[in-house]
Amino acid sequence: MAVHQLVPHFRLGDATAQAAVQFRALLRRLGHWGGLYGASRVPGTEALVQPLQALRVQPGDWVLLHHAIGSSLPSRLLHTQGRRGVVFHGLPSLRLHRGTPAERSVLAGRAQLSGMAAHVSVAIGLSEFASSELSRSGYGEVHTVPLFVEAERFAEERADPALRARLDSGALTLVSVGPMTREAHLEDLLALHREVLRIRPDARLVIAGAVDPTLGALESEAARTPGVTMLGEVSHGERVAVYRSGSVLVSMREQDGSGVGLLEAMASEVPVLAYAAGAVTATLGGAGVAFDEKRFALLAEVAMRLGTDPRLRGRVLSGQRRRLQVLGPGRSEERLSAALESAGLGRPPRPRRPARRKPRVGIVVQRYGPGITGGAEALAGQVVARLRPHWDIQVLTSCATDHLTWANALPAGESRVDGVSVLRFTNLRPRPMRELNARSRRVFGQSLDLGEEEAWMALQGPILPGLWRHLSERGGEYDGFVAFTYLFVSTAWSVPLVGDRTLLVPTAHDEEPLRFDAYAEVFERPRALLLLTPEELELIDRRFPRHARARVVGVGVEPPAVEPGRFRTRFELPGDYLLYVGRVERGKGIPGLLEGYRRLRAALPDAPTLVLAGDASMDVRAEGVRMLGRVSEQDKWDGLAGALAAVVPSPRESLSLLALEAFAVGTPMLGNAVSDVLRGHVERSRAGGTFQDAASFVEAVARVRRERAAMARAARRYASRYRWERVVDAYREEMDAMVRR
């Protein structure tokens, strides 16, 4: 069964959106899949959140509503089939909104809250304070599931450097972060700041968060007050910069519904000074400093001490760090699990001890089938072929053949490919390459929150709700899974669902998305990681030090009988040639290769021909360059055997099957020096060279020409390590250990 979530208005950075994304991550870890649905969504979130109209509730499904004012969703929830629940963050204070345009919305929101009480099976408050409001509103089964913050997202290096530098000063700095609504009591922050100014005239108050438009007069007053900086809405990196620039985080909120801001401050190592109301006391749990009366002159003295006395500050920060450890994601996961179990939604069943001879294994991969090119997909195909005799395999994949669009080219449902059962699931949304590229340019290298990272991941696709429902509901029918390619959500959102029964083949290389913290669980939750090269292990060690047990397994390379002459004749290549086989596109480093080759032609009158084989998505026409298009397997092997060298210009490789295949037929390899993996192959094999620019490319080609015979011997020696029987044994050992557990 699925656990869907309804959000009135989905906007990244908003509390409801943050909670929904966090809940979905927690639900995945509990083995439950569910979609996010918004009554409205801001542009750019369409891949992450579906429109409400797309909600299809199946028998046994759950629907959780995140309640907020101005929402039309309560009536929808009441008439939704399936089991219903409410997630409650808190509502604006009626007292503070009397006589304002929002008064009636606040009233309506409170009436809606009471109106749903009799019709839901479970109510979840995001704090004890929110839960007590739920109980008062008539809810019977109330659970508290606090939100969490991932401390690493608030580390110093995540702070926006420009804002960090701008705010950096020796002055005592009070900071306030979060939407500046009436509940934030801007007037109280200003009153405190004025008192601090009386002690320290250079003191500053930095306020980050969008200001409620109805607070224009207060905003003007703030702008006139010396030392006050109003930043408005800020990005995640800027948020971290504000926290990290603060001497003290001050909260004057009288109705803090979730306490997330306090957790963020604690993660950013800034002492908290907060009015003890709402979720504050329960969130702080004795950490930080809370106060029960707003005596601004007195509080100014306390803030002064807290911001400037190193011993006091050290003690408070140390206590906050301890508190943060208690309030980690594990606690939220436990609480949510308890809430769902009490309402009858336990964890999905695990497989019974198999009586079958062969373990039943699901292979999760983004695309699968004959004619589908791609390193990871080819590897998955080879693993299936080699392990078929030992496992009862079902491939779980998309209907796509094209990795750029994920268009549903093949029919959904079960089919057989080379005698193996393949279950295909429909991709919900084509991949919008232009939008994805634009988003990538905007977010890569930036400090992001979970929602922003997941929005990028969803845009990348493929979105396979059928696969996630299948794993959630029928995952227990498999003894284990092998999932390929960490990058795509087909794997990234599948692995947590069946976590410790999964062997992940991440095919990771050094690329921007690998810096996303959202991928941590993909590397941490599987039973084991099966890696292709020692460089991949080093990379994962660096990026996700808490990763699951990892083992460098590699692949097997077994060339067929080759006839280089056959390739030369077929493609009319009488002289020396360099060969590249793969997708001919910018991301594969083809422009750099063409530039190097142009220099080679200029430097060597008898330069070898450059032969490119594969589907092209760019123009490669140039003197001496032959574009063959896609070639057969046999042509590939024949071509590699006859080449002066294989060239691998891609800066990002997790293995480079092409290099290993070239080595196996005694052909050296010229690889892009930017890739650790290609450098590793060259250093270990001594069968080729690397290049980082046109000049080094010319040099490397000349060296291969001089030392081709010795390199060929070294290449064969190196390739002999890559035998399928070793790979198959490793996969079987890991699966058997998992099944026997």
Partner 1 sequence: MKLLGRDIDAGALLRAARERLEARGIRDEALPVEAEPEPVLEPLSFLVRALEEDEDPTVPIPATERGAPASLVRRVFRLACQSLIDEVLERQRRFNARVREADAQLSAEVIQLRARLEALEAAQRNGDRAALLAPRKPRRKRRG
- Could you list the residues that contact partner 1 (CB under 8 A)? 72, 74-75, 78-79, 91, 93-95, 99-101, 103-104, 107-108, 110-112, 114-115, 118-119, 133, 136-138, 188, 191, 198-199, 213, 254, 276-277, 281, 284, 286-298, 301-302, 305, 312, 315-316, 318-319
What is the C-alpha to C-alpha distance for residues 585 and 579, in angstroms, rounded to an integer? 15
CB of 464 to partner 1, least distance (A): 33
Instruction: Tell whether omega for the bond before 462 is within 30 degrees of 0, i.e. cis.
Output: yes
Q: How far apart, in Å, are the Cα atoms of 689 and each of 589, 647, 699?
A: 16, 10, 9
Cβ-in-10-Å burial (0-12, 13-18, 19+) of 52 comes to middle
CB of 185 to partner 1, least distance (A): 9
Cβ-in-10-Å burial (0-12, 13-18, 19+) of 414 comes to exposed
DSSP symbols for 664-684: HTT--EEEETT-HHHHHHHHH
Nearer to partner 1, 291 or 571 (CB): 291
Nearer to partner 1, 42 or 108 (CB): 108
Residue 616 per-residue DSSP state: B
Task: Give the CA dihedral 193, 196, 202, 203, nearest 10 degrees.
Answer: -60
Nearer to partner 1, 93 or 382 (CB): 93
Nearer to partner 1, 132 or 437 (CB): 132
Query: Which single residue is written with the structure tokens 């306390």?
Result: 302
CB of 539 to partner 1, least distance (A): 39
331's CB contacts (< 8 A; 6+ apart) are: 146, 148
CB of 37 to partner 1, least distance (A): 18
CB of 133 to partner 1, least distance (A): 7
Nearer to partner 1, 192 or 483 (CB): 192
CB of 534 to partner 1, least distance (A): 45
CB of 78 to partner 1, least distance (A): 4
Nearer to partner 1, 199 or 404 (CB): 199
- Candidates 313, 8, 333, 272; CA nearest to 148 is 333
Task: Specify the long-range contacts of residues 13-17, CB closer than 8 Å, at least 24 apart.
Answer: 13/233, 13/449, 13/451, 15/89, 15/257, 15/258, 15/260, 16/66, 16/68, 16/89, 17/45, 17/451
CB of 181 to partner 1, least distance (A): 15
Task: Give the CA dihedral 533, 537, 539, 544, nearest 10 degrees.
Answer: 150
CB of 246 to partner 1, least distance (A): 18
- Candidates 12, 184, 258; CA nearest to 205 is 184
CB of 134 to partner 1, least distance (A): 10
CB of 76 to partner 1, least distance (A): 8
CB of 80 to partner 1, least distance (A): 10
Which amino acid is present at 280?
V
Nearer to partner 1, 116 or 364 (CB): 116
CB of 257 to partner 1, least distance (A): 11
Sheet strand arrangement including 50-51: 50-51, 36-41, 3-10, 62-67, 83-88, 122-125, 142-144
- Candidates 599, 546, 584; CA nearest to 150 is 546
Q: What are 177's strand-pairing partners? A: 208
The angle formed by the CA atoms of residues 399, 405 and 410, to the nearest 5 degrees, is 20
Nearer to partner 1, 77 or 372 (CB): 77
Nearer to partner 1, 294 or 390 (CB): 294
Nearer to partner 1, 93 or 405 (CB): 93
Nearer to partner 1, 151 or 302 (CB): 302
- Looking only at the bridges linking them, the beta strands covering 289-291 and 272-275 are parallel
CB of 298 to partner 1, least distance (A): 5
- Looking only at the bridges linking them, the beta strands covering 420-425 and 413-417 are antiparallel
Query: Which single residue is written with the structure tokens 């299809």?
Result: 56
The angle formed by the CA atoms of residues 490, 493 and 496, to the nearest 5 degrees, is 130
The angle formed by the CA atoms of residues 129, 131 and 134, to the nearest 5 degrees, is 120
Nearer to partner 1, 22 or 137 (CB): 137
Side-chain-side CA neighbours of residue 736 (13 Å): 10
Nearer to partner 1, 305 or 566 (CB): 305
355's CB contacts (< 8 A; 6+ apart) are: none
With b meaning 16 or more CB within 10 Å and e meaning fewer, what string describes 499-511? bebbbbbbbbbbe
Nearer to partner 1, 86 or 600 (CB): 86
Asked if 139 and 86 touch (Cβ cutoff 8 Å), the reply is yes
569's CB contacts (< 8 A; 6+ apart) are: none
CB of 94 to partner 1, least distance (A): 6
**Radius of gyration (Cα) for the chain, nearest Å?**
29
How many CB atoms lie under 10 A from the CB of residue 133? 23
Nearer to partner 1, 295 or 347 (CB): 295
CB of 9 to partner 1, least distance (A): 16
At 422, list the tokens: 């393949």
Nearer to partner 1, 191 or 625 (CB): 191
Nearer to partner 1, 195 or 536 (CB): 195
CB of 110 to partner 1, least distance (A): 5
The angle formed by the CA atoms of residues 517, 523 and 525, to the nearest 5 degrees, is 110
SS (H, E, C) 406-472: CCECCCCEEEEECCEEEEEECCCCCCCHHHHHHHHHHHCCCCCCHHHHHHHHHHHCCCCHHHHHHHH
